[in-house]
Structure 1
Amino acid sequence: GSGELLSLQDYLDSMTDEQNNIYYIQSKDRKTALASPYMEAFENKGVNVLLLTEDIDAFVVSYIENFKGKRLVSVDSEEEIEKDILKSDDGDDAKKEMPEASRDDLESFVKEVLGERVNGVKFSDRLVNSPAVVTSAISPQMRRMMKQMMAQSGQGDQNDALQAIPMTLELNPDHPTVRKLGDLAASKEARTEDIAKVAVTQLFDNACIAAGMVDDPRTILDRLQKMLDVCVEQAVSAADLTSAAPASEATKAATEATKEEEPIELKKME
């Protein structure tokens, strides 16, 4: 986060002996890059990440691939990040691991809800404060560049094929929301509740937005409003200001909004 201009050699000189890769992130500007959930593990460990903010950078790094024996790896790609970077050093030994059974239940529930929208679901160590991210073989910035090039060359009809490139939803097992969803997924009765399915869908959409893979976020506003209605009405009910019945109606409304809405349009190969 120092904002210094670094050459690849400068980056190499700053690396620890244990670090094997040169990490970078492509973004439209520095502020957006630093706010990315993909940066959390690196900021937490003080590992340098090259911020690439020019359109041409996506092509440059794709051709360089490695520098003096060190691979160039995008922090938002599906490639595994080195374990020494992900390993927590906060000394919190009291933190309990998310039970394996709970992970299995949540993984199957997420796949059940999202279907073909994700190629896989896994629990990741790359996150610190965010509940989830999406990853694929193609970084979000490269998707944008490829989509622009295809549009300019008149190959817009190929976007469907680009959109079909599989994505993985990576979950943070230490995040409260993920753990609570794990509790819901462990209950057969809770898994049938529509609001639980709405929550999983929104978790995925939020991750897509964070990755810059949503063309028009307004397509999910209706569902967000319905979820807000549920929260407010349940809070009012909990305070005994009214009966619990309206919350049930709001839950149904949120569910209907999810069923009726068109899937959000992802930036097909941004």
Structure 2
Amino acid sequence: MIKNRTLAEASPYYENLKSRNQEVLFCYEPYDELVLMTLQQFKNYKVVSVEKDMRDDKKAADLTNLGIDSLKRSEIDELTKWLKDKLAGKAATVSATNRLENHPCVVTVEEMAAARHFVKTQSHQVPEERRYALLQPQFEINPKHPIIKKMYKLMASDRDLAELLAKQLFANAMVGAGLVDDPRLLLTSMNDLLAKCLEKH
């Protein structure tokens, strides 16, 4: 749940709908999405969260025409396999998507509103490993994004930095999805990434 329209329009979830010229209802209060999730319909219109629409969009898995500025299919397969290993215990699945333009990655979970409510009210009582097992986050990468392409190159030239980058991108996506109770906990991993980047300077 994003409380600011400007932030909402800058999210990877809205980006996908905007490109399809889809009508969107913005909600700003935490209880709004729980009400709409329960309601499911309003004046004969089916109400679907942007995250669920994104998760259910099967066309996004079509990687046949990504263009020359994208990783090749073999590179995508190599990278997603490596990411699955590095994000084991956190990301339930890792795949590439064609639905992102300006974002390197995105996380979706089943019933995002209920998941966010769980994170805000109960996740502190659940160990981190169990939390990911319950949420089953799907991690999707944009094979055309410069950061993702650079991460692929780092797999060969600097695996430690590539791994720190992968974990930070996943953490950032979880924050963007509203699935992290206290984003300050990410500062340690962010500082580790910055320290590694600055080693040669």
Normalised by the size of structure 1, how large is the TM-score?
Answer: 0.61
Which residue does the alignment assign to 1:200? 166
Q: What CA distance in whole angstroms lies between the structure 2 residues aligned with 1:214 and 1:130? A: 19
Any residues of structure 2 matched to 1:158-177 within 5 Å, and which? 163=132, 164-177=134-147
Higher relative contact order (CA 8 A, sep 6+): 2
Which residue does the alignment assign to 2:179? 213
1:145-174 deviation digits (Å, cap 9, x = unpaired): 3455669xxxx7568766522110011111
Pairs aligned (count): 196
Q: What's the C-alpha RMSD, in Å, of the aligned pairs?
A: 3.3
1:32-88 deviation digits (Å, cap 9, x = unpaired): 3223221112234443311111233223322332457654221123532375x999x
Find out whether 1:122 has 2:130 as its counterpart: no
**How far 1:183 sits from its partner (Å)?**
3.4
Q: What CA distance in whole angstroms lies between the structure 2 residues aligned with 1:158 and 1:224? A: 24
Find out whether 1:35 has 2:7 as its counterpart: no
Q: Secondary structure, in 3 states, of the residue corresponding to 1:48?
A: coil
Which residue does the alignment assign to 1:95? 68
Normalised by the size of structure 2, how large is the TM-score?
Answer: 0.78
Q: What CA distance in whole angstroms lies between the structure 2 residues aligned with 1:201 and 1:52? A: 30
Unaligned runs of 5+ in 1: 1-25, 88-92, 237-270
Structure 2 residue corresponding to 1:80, chosen from 56, 60, 64: 56
The 1:135/1:43 distance shift into structure 2, 3 A limit, reads: same
The 1:82/1:75 distance shift into structure 2, 3 A limit, reads: farther
Unaligned runs of 5+ in 2: none
Identity of counterpart residues, as a percentage?
29
Q: Secondary structure, in 3 states, of the residue corresponding to 1:115?
A: coil
The 1:71/1:108 distance shift into structure 2, 3 A limit, reads: same
Q: Is the 2:143–2:149 contact (alpha carbons within 8 Å) kept by the matching residues of 1? A: yes
Which residue does the alignment assign to 1:143? 115
Find out whether 1:62 has 2:28 as its counterpart: no
The structure with the greater share of residues assigned to helix is 2
Any residues of structure 2 matched to 1:8-19 within 5 Å, and which? none
